[in-house]
Each structure stands twice: as structure tokens, then as C-alpha cells.
Amino acid sequence: MSSDEITCPFCGSGNGCDHHLASIDLGECEIYAGYLDAIGPNWSEEPIRLDDPIREVFLSAFSQKLKKLPFEDSPELMKLWKNSRIRPADPDEPIIILGAILASFLVARLGKAGSICINNRVDQLWSSIEVCELFAENPKEVVCRYFSSLKSELGLV
């Protein structure tokens, strides 16, 4: 199966309708299409980064050497925590989280927030990659729900 055979479960379109939330590479956790990869509504915003709140909280937990983590009650976030490490010498990316683990976390959370995942295999020059094509009736609402539940679990609100 290749990406051009994927059709939207909401409108049946085969090429990039407004329901396409994202294409997530399940190995590297790269997000490369759809609403999440698009330029914001004012053509000036940065693409939305789903893992920013996680990195922010992890970085402060690492640097403060917290005894009690604010997200201890979440098994999924604890799994991310155990699979992340700090690299303070790189201010652009001080927190490293293993791509495949972050990808499965994001797909599960966006599913809980109301999106549908269609598994896809995209052929590249020498290999193929496993991709989750996420669709939602209203991608913007899904992203809002995702962030509000994530932030409360992280202790940010």
C-alpha cells in the first residue's frame, strides 16, 4: 500500500483534504503532512509541535533533579521519561526522546482526542517506512483536546 491509496474516512478524498491531521513516521516520529505540518492560519505561525510541553516539563525535571515527578501517575509519560535523556550542550534540542516511543505515544493520544489512524507503508528510494495517517472531522479541535489533557497530566495547568 502506498500513500496515494489512502482515502479520508470522512469525505473520501484521496489527496490531502482538510480532515488530514498528520502523517507520522512511526520510526523517527517525523510529522510531515496535514494540519500539523501546515503553516498556521495567519501564514505566520510555526507548525504546531506536539511534544513541546513534554520537553519543557522533562527539561525542568532533569535540571531541578525533582524527587517527585509531576507526571508520576501517568504510565505513558513515565515510559517516555525513562526513554529520554538530556543533552544540555545542545540548546536547540536538550531533551532526546526515542522516536518510535514518542510516535506511538502521540498516535495513541491523538486517537484518544478523537482522531482515526490508518496505517500506511510509504516506499522510499531504498526502503519503506511505517506511517500513521491521522484523520479527524475537526483537526483543530483534536489538537486542542490533546494539549489540554496532556498539559494537565504534566502538571502545567
End-to-end CA distance of the chain: 42
In degrees, to the nearest 5, what angle opens at C-alpha 119 toward C-alphas 114 and 122?
Answer: 135
CB of 22 to Zn ion, least distance (A): 13
Task: Please name which of 135, 145, 126 lies closest in space to residue 17, comparing C-alpha atoms.
Answer: 135
Give yes or no for residue 10 binding Zn ion (CB under 5 A).
yes
Contact window for Zn ion (CB under 5 A) among 4-12, 29-37, 44-52, 126-134: 4-12
Stretch 15-44 residues interacting with Zn ion (CB under 5 A): 17, 19
Residue listed under C-alpha cell 526513554: 83
**Looking at beta carbons only, is 19 or 109 nearer to Zn ion?**
19
The binding site for Zn ion (CB under 5 A) comprises 8, 10-11, 13, 17, 19
